A and B are shown apart, each in its own frame.
Chain A
Amino acid sequence: MNPILAVRDLRITFGGVVAANGIELDIYPHELVAVIGPNGSGKTTFLNLCTGYIHPASGSVTFEGKPITELPPRTITRRGIARAFQIPQLFAGHSVLECVMLAVAARHGIWDAWRPLARRGYRHEAHEILDLLTLGAVADRLTATLPEGLRKLADIAIAMALKPRLLLLDEPTSGVSTAEKIPLMDTIVGVLRAEKITALFVEHDMDVVERYADRVLVWDSGRVAAAGRPHEVLHSADVLERIIGVG
């Protein structure tokens, strides 16, 4: 099977800090891959490199066999990679429904200055996505008024409205209470499986990783230090000591 995302020898430094130090990895279709590692190990930088927010000094990123290394975020998004952020990136003056409708409109083509955004087709599609993510009840609320867990879901709903083939999630459970984490991930993963969306998520909660990931990539000093099935990686003495800090 060909990888949906192939990364080869990706390198970047910020001043003296090596944020990507020869990253090599493949993500395969329909996989749910977790990325773990200590703070500052370059996990978010990796997502930024894959989505064109920053460009590497060297190396390549290939999506569905085509290079995307030097492309800007909007072009990469149009190619089929969507992203949800560690700090939810919502449109503050808009309702949840409007944010998702805007994403639906972006997928269909934003260059329409005549028909309303809140047209029946867009509204229906947005409601479907919101219902999938259990956000139907807050559809008309302004995004700024939502609690953190719902903001995370709204951010993911926006990304899902783009109908991506690869979804990158940066710490989907950070800032969410312990009690909310499992229901939140149940909802997200349920939709990902149902829609057959390949996903890569950065996560610090090892229970979440073990429960949901098909594969784990362990990040350390800007490179993949270990990779494998969750039960193998998370119980490896080396990973426990060096990455998770237990041992």
Chain B
Amino acid sequence: MVVRYTVILAVVAALLPIAVPWLGFVFTLAVGIGLAALGVAMLLRGGLISIGHALYFAVGAYAVAFLMRDAGVHDLLVLFAGATIITAAVGFLVGAFMVRYRAIFFAMLNLAISMVFFTLLSKLYYVTGGTDGLAVATPTVLGMQLSRGAFDVVMQNAALILMVAAALLIDRYLKSPLGEALGAIHTNEVRLEYLGVSARGVIWAAYTVSAGLAGLGGAITAVAIGHVVPELSYWTVSGQLVLVAVLGGIGGVPGAFIGAFFLELVRTFAVGIAGEVWNAIIGISLLIVIFFLPEGLYGLIQRLERRRTNPK
């Protein structure tokens, strides 16, 4: 089911921008947000709410900027790989501390560290560009320097490939013993320890992977926009990631991307149709989903699928 809906999502996402070209940029941004939200959704499976994952989103984005500016890396694939690895490494280090905490303490500590990072990005002007941020030039693709128009098409397709790959890999992980152990932490951490399993170790692995996903999402966003700013690590972005994860539903990996596409589309159309009240339109849309679809949009799809395969 996950494979089918991931492929359907990818095909729709690939075809719509051909029909409506300006949607290509929106979809690329949605994939960036969706990857980061998938990281948040993974942790939610373990009963852990991170309201500071914008930290990793921003680390991924700034890693791209720093790699281009300071390390002379300009190839798109190397930038994505480098940003993901750097962010996962940061997640690994921060995770060593985070795995000791649960519930509100876990949530607030993530928030605190992301806000410390936001302050550093804002104040360390000579390193980070301060509140002005840093420009991200158009990268090369396999050594070729493309025009911006051609590059945007490549970016859009690269984002789709990364989305499908990440969805399939994370789905596999969640169904593996390590992934199932993460879900088991949510319901009974003590029993897991009495199986001889280190709950902290399981969370640490998930936290590192989740940071890497958010970093990749940040890297895609940085390259797509061509600019990174401290606001990428601001708490509202963290909140948005949690919102997207819950909106899409944590019952399966496509949920995060469905939530991201839904939010980006609603935002885009709301701004276009009613520029003065677009926030209210988004809020009302979210309320409708939260009230009537407690398992998120993917939960609705799963419910319809169950009804189709088992009409009784």
A→B interface (CB under 8 Å): 51, 72-75, 77-78, 82-83, 89-94, 98, 102-103, 105-107, 110-118, 158-159, 162
Flag if B186 contacts A78 (CB, 8 Å).
Answer: no
Flag if A91 contacts B196 (CB, 8 Å).
Answer: no
Flag if A77 contacts B196 (CB, 8 Å).
Answer: yes
Known contacts A90-B188, A93-B186, A93-B187, A106 near B197 by CB under 8 Å: yes
Task: List chain A residues, Cβ under 8 A from B178.
Answer: 110-113
For the complex, what is the distance from the CA of A226 to the CA of B183, rounded to whole Å? 44
CB neighbors of A among B163-191 (8 A): 172-173, 175-181, 183-184, 186-188, 190-191
B9 interface residue (CB < 8 Å to A) = no
Task: List chain B residues, Cβ under 8 A from A93.
Answer: 183, 186-187
The residue of chain A having its C-beta at the shortest distance from the C-beta of B172 within the complex is: A114
For the complex, what is the distance from the CA of A205 to the CA of B38, rounded to whole Å? 51
Flag if A110 contacts B188 (CB, 8 Å).
Answer: no
The residue of chain A having its C-beta at the shortest distance from the C-beta of B187 within the complex is: A92
Across the interface, A113 reaches (CB within 8 A) one of B176, B194, B196, namely B176
Flag if A102 contacts B195 (CB, 8 Å).
Answer: yes
For the complex, what is the distance from the CA of A11 to the CA of B194, rounded to whole Å? 23
Task: List chain B residues, Cβ under 8 A from A113.
Answer: 172-173, 176-179, 205
For the complex, what is the distance from the CA of A77 to the CA of B198, rounded to whole Å? 11
Flag if B187 contacts A91 (CB, 8 Å).
Answer: yes
B94 interface residue (CB < 8 Å to A) = no
Known contacts A116-B175, A117-B177, A110 near B191 by CB under 8 Å: no
Complex A-B: 18 CB contacts under 8 Å = A73-B194, A74-B196, A77-B193, A77-B195, A82-B194, A89-B191, A90-B191, A91-B187, A94-B180, A102-B177, A102-B184, A102-B195, A103-B195, A105-B181, A110-B181, A111-B177, A113-B173, A159-B194
Known contacts A92-B188, A93-B187, A74 near B193 by CB under 8 Å: yes
Flag if A107 contacts B183 (CB, 8 Å).
Answer: no
The residue of chain B having its C-beta at the shortest distance from the C-beta of A118 within the complex is: B175
CB neighbors of A among B82-113 (8 A): none
The residue of chain B having its C-beta at the shortest distance from the C-beta of A155 within the complex is: B191
Q: How far is the CB of B221 from chain A (nearest CB, A)?
A: 26
For the complex, what is the distance from the CA of A181 to the CA of B283, rounded to whole Å? 56
Known contacts A94-B183, A110-B202, A113-B205, A89 near B177 by CB under 8 Å: no
Q: How far is the CB of A202 from chain B (nearest CB, A)?
A: 16
Closest 8 CB pairs of A and B: A105-B177, A77-B196, A106-B195, A89-B191, A92-B187, A78-B196, A113-B178, A91-B184
Flag if B176 contacts A74 (CB, 8 Å).
Answer: no
For the complex, what is the distance from the CA of A59 to the CA of B31, rounded to whole Å? 58
Task: List chain A residues, Cβ under 8 A from B184.
Answer: 91, 94, 102
Flag if A112 contacts B191 (CB, 8 Å).
Answer: no
> Apart from A75-B196, A77-B194, A111-B205, what are 14 other A-B pairs with CB-CB below 8 Å?
A74-B195, A74-B196, A77-B195, A78-B196, A83-B194, A90-B188, A94-B180, A94-B187, A105-B180, A105-B181, A110-B177, A112-B176, A116-B175, A116-B176
- Cβ proximity bits B137-166 to A, threshold 8 Å, 1 near / 0 not: 000000000000000000000000000000
For the complex, what is the distance from the CA of A117 to the CA of B180, rounded to whole Å? 7
Task: List chain A residues, Cβ under 8 A from B175.
Answer: 116-118
For the complex, what is the distance from the CA of A74 to the CA of B205, rounded to whole Å? 17
For the complex, what is the distance from the CA of A89 to the CA of B188, rounded to whole Å? 7
Flag if A158 contacts B186 (CB, 8 Å).
Answer: no
Task: List chain A residues, Cβ under 8 A from B172.
Answer: 113-114, 116
